[in-house]
Structure 1
């Protein structure tokens, strides 16, 4: 997609109709894995197309816990290789993309006669630090702990262990990687579905594409030497393999967003849930506090927005109120929720009672004569997974020369001086999230902040004009998170958004009204509270 404004309607339909019919590689799926493959493929000089049936990062990659980490519980479970690779990739991302990937202090409190104790946890962290090549772990005394986390339950509290991991804005991470792919020649299209994949005889793969944008019906068949099925939880649907031992086990993880004053934390607190001892995180995010996550089988339609259940709300409140007994959190405190579906690869029989939390998080790659499917894996290791996928496809390509291992995924932004009206932390974030586009973003709109948030109006103007916003939820739930941090999904802001952004989006009044109704209905059903009834 070009750098200029992309409007839906005739322009999008023409873009699909006029699409080059031949590619070296077609990537199906616009989440973190697909974006990583597109970037590595384009950097290797391959003619690359990426399509996403909904919005970029619509699925798992905008609904994670936002953590770029090695996974301490995976290390404790014996997944040493996964943890080692993730810790090293975490460090690489911290070095390359400050502002997009940032350090966060994590704290694990230790209570008398509760697991894990400080000695055992310290041993696990020692291995973690060994992989990182730097010591991050340290002991925290009880008095210091209560200064950091006022209100934390101190009954039988022995102290805590502190360590460092990282966080990101996952949807913006995907957008930045896609931008790097496009800068190297890749074509990317959202709201374009791959409806059929076939390989007639010994010919190249044929992929039938369909425009799923509002009011669109354009279709086009394009060919490629290699097709990558990076659709995550939908991988079985695109190319089911009857005799495969593994299958996708969709697991839902849900989160609560609360006002900071109701649960003030300045670090990421890790607590074992009082019921099943699963780790639950309480951490600061965009001026609010998040509690998450759950880990349950997701048996609902994958094409619908995943949503939290009353059972999950109760589970997360149980964890938070156990850690902070004086807060007495309830449903009236919730600003919003989000839920995502993890495409975990399971080798267990579908009737197995293996706990979701005990499933392996390693990724799996299947090759079926040049149709390469991938599922599982971690946000942190997207680059390694992408390179492994391309190496798997080497036999089908005439030549493949992957970009040098040392080449940065995220080139630094130009050394612009910080405008006086922009705060230091906001400036750092903008540099990391927008890279080479930062000079133009600063000219896209006012540099004032959207009230009660850290977003600039210029960011919304830029997204509306340059980031393939097709629906209002693309703007409010993924390009920004205004819909998750403002009461009512930002309903009180909609009139001002219309006044400011309607020219950028090119929507007439009827179109805008329809988008508002669509967004508010979606927000109520997928980003807020369910009715107080058990899941069927």
Structure 2
């Protein structure tokens, strides 16, 4: 996925069948389905691949038990079907995850109600995964969990993923089918033609070279997530989205060791909050608030959200003494939720996706990480109206082509965990990752499971432009290591300089930029000093702390 080569291909490609704007999971899914159907596909992304919500999610691939509680059986069934397909076809990248729901005497919902809900969840999935654990077993599975009034816990099966790597795997599959994709290339405006002002392309800006150029396409797909309304505004269309922010904490697993996820009901408002094992650490989330900040600015957790999530942990695990000092990193994603217009609370807004065709601009938004393929296939049916002869299939094809037996054999010298990791993330490219590895570069970094060779591969073959592309999305080292991976610099700097051709000045500029980004959007926010009688800046965020 060489950026320079793909940029040149965009210039020389003439009129494309499909131009996808947006390199998150929605855009990647559309690019894959369209390319597999025989279309000539180009994809452009203003930031980095998975640079928006698709790298800042809760990392869950799930049916959505709470959607079932809202009566959205269709969404839950579709999500469960797609979850199971990903578990089967992206094994190792999408992993089973058991969730535990503690039940306490006198609390609602109680054991019978939760049991009925989980029975329906299993029925929609077509297999039984629910189990009941008594109080002693619950304490053994979640050490430190508040024991007062504990009856036991239900558990059930869902899944989790490295969301950014899932996007990269889909993009690599789309590339295998001929799609071209370029990151850090932004759309300045839509091209319109005819009396009906039909969309027939875009005007682009390459901020790296300062070049502006046009791109013609029979069909433009707006898969920009929370920014979708900004592109639609070029057609004079009214906004559709309600941006909602979800924030998360990452805590070292030795401070909160969990072999499975634990769902908690917040002591202030009863909202579900979860803690789960992820990439050798413990992930805690999530909030659900209207996001009113400038969408051009990287979102970050607020002090109120931090306090809210810590309060849930401190209530559920009182003996552990968890606090701000235990938080290794944070992140916030802004969900592109389609507004119902009914004035409901953020958590009550529907999560169904939306696909609409407006003057040849097909907008795909509002969906979930889990259901990206179902969303893409619906979008492809709209695309077919603009691309004659497109081979839209009714039957379901596999999402990914499995790695060949030859690749598995080539990875034989690697330890089993690393071999499985590389097959899951790189498929048949895994053998090339090994060929590229220098001395000691199959060593993993700390307890992250990430090998040095993955950084070299990403720099050379995965369109890394900025240091955060490498440390926050191609790998997750910036989230998993203290101080954003400061300890890696002595070995990281020469590797990156060699692969990307950076001078010392280039490295220092990128390192300074990266550190500022980490402090602003991925760290514990500094405490603000405010007058005692100051009014809350945001009533909804103030409500996070208000007992109900």
TM-score (norm 2): 0.92
Q: Secondary structure at the match of 2:435?
A: coil
1:118 aligns with 2:111: yes
Distance 1:426 1:147 in 2: 29
1:280-327, CA deviations, whole angstroms, 9 ceiling, x for partnerless residues? 110111111111011011111111110000000000001011110011
Residue 138 of structure 2 is aligned to residue 145 of structure 1: yes
Match of 1:380 in 2: 370
Aligned-partner Cα distance in 2 for 1:502–1:232: 33
Matched residue, 1:39: 32
Cα offset, 1:49, TM superposition: 0.7
Q: Give the match for residue 307 of structure 2.
A: 314
- 1:389 equivalent to 2:379? Answer yes
Q: CA deviation at 1:15?
A: 5.4
Distance 2:260 2:420 in 1: 19
Q: CA 1:34–1:13 in 2, change beyond 3 Å: closer, same or farther?
A: closer
Q: Is the 8 A contact 1:43 1:402 kept in 2?
A: no
Residue by residue, what CA displacement relative to the aligned partner does 1:355-406 show, whole Å, maximum 9, x if unpaired?
1001011111221121111221111110010010111233222122125633
Q: Aligned-pair distance for 1:423? A: 3.4
In structure 1, distance between residues paired with 2:289 and 2:490: 38
- Which of the numbers 350, 359, 362 marks the counterpart of 1:360? 350
Residue 422 of structure 1 deviates from its aligned partner by 3.6
CA-CA distance at 1:14 after TM superposition: 4.8
Output the CA distance in 1 between the equivalents of 2:143 and 2:524. Answer: 28
Question: Which moves more between the two structures, 401-410 or 450-459?
Answer: 401-410
Q: Is the 8 A contact 1:204 1:223 kept in 2?
A: no
Which residue pairs with 2:481 in the alignment? 486
Q: CA deviation at 1:420?
A: 6.5
Give yes or no for the alignment of 1:128 onto 2:121.
Answer: yes
Whether 1:328 and 2:318 are equivalent positions in the alignment is no
Task: Give CA deviations for 1:457-512 in whole Å, capped at 9, x if unaligned.
Answer: 11111001100000000000000010001110011212210122311111111111
Aligned equivalents of 2:207, 2:255: Cα separation in 1: 41
CA–CA distance in structure 2, aligned partners of residues 28 and 155 of structure 1: 52
1:521 aligns with 2:513: no
Q: Distance in 1 between matches of 2:105 and 2:399?
A: 45
**From 165, 178, 202, the counterpart of 1:185:** 178
In the alignment, is the contact (CA less than 8 A) between 1:103 and 1:166 conserved in 2? yes
* Cα 1:125–1:271 shift into 2, 3 Å: same
For residues 21-420 of structure 1, the aligned pairs below 5 Å read 21-201=14-194, 205-213=200-208, 216-240=209-233, 247-348=240-341, 352=343, 354-403=344-393, 405-415=395-405, 416-417=408-409
SS at match of 1:39: helix
Deviation at 1:236, TM superposition (A): 0.7
CA distance in 2, matches of 1:236, 1:204: 15
Secondary structure of the residue aligned to 1:261 is coil
How far the C-alpha of 1:126 sits from its partner, in A, is: 1.3
Quote the residue 2:426 is aligned against.
434
8 A contact 2:496–2:502 mirrored in 1? no
Question: What CA distance in whole angstroms lies between the structure 2 residues aligned with 1:27 and 1:242?
Answer: 20
Contact 1:27 1:229 in 2 (8 A): yes
Counterparts of 1:224 and 1:484 in 2: how far apart (Å)? 38
Equivalent residues, number: 523
| C-alpha distance in 2 between matches for 1:492 and 1:518 | 17
Equivalent residue, structure 1, for 2:546 = none
Look up the match of 1:457: 452
Indicate conservation of the 8 Å contact 2:199/2:361, yes or no: no
CA separation of 1:243 and 1:407: change in aligned 2, threshold 3 A = closer
Note the aligned Cα RMSD (angstroms): 1.7
3-state SS in 1 of match to 2:318: coil
CA distance in 1, matches of 2:380, 2:450: 37
Farther-moved stretch of structure 1 (307-316 vs 411-420):
411-420
| Contact 1:142–1:159, Cα closer than 8 Å, also in 2 | yes
Q: TM-score, normalised by structure 1?
A: 0.94
CA contact (8 A) 2:6 2:181 kept: no
Please state whether the residue corresponding to 2:498 is helix, strand or coil.
helix
The secondary structure found in structure 1 opposite 2:512 is helix
1:423 corresponding residue in structure 2: 415
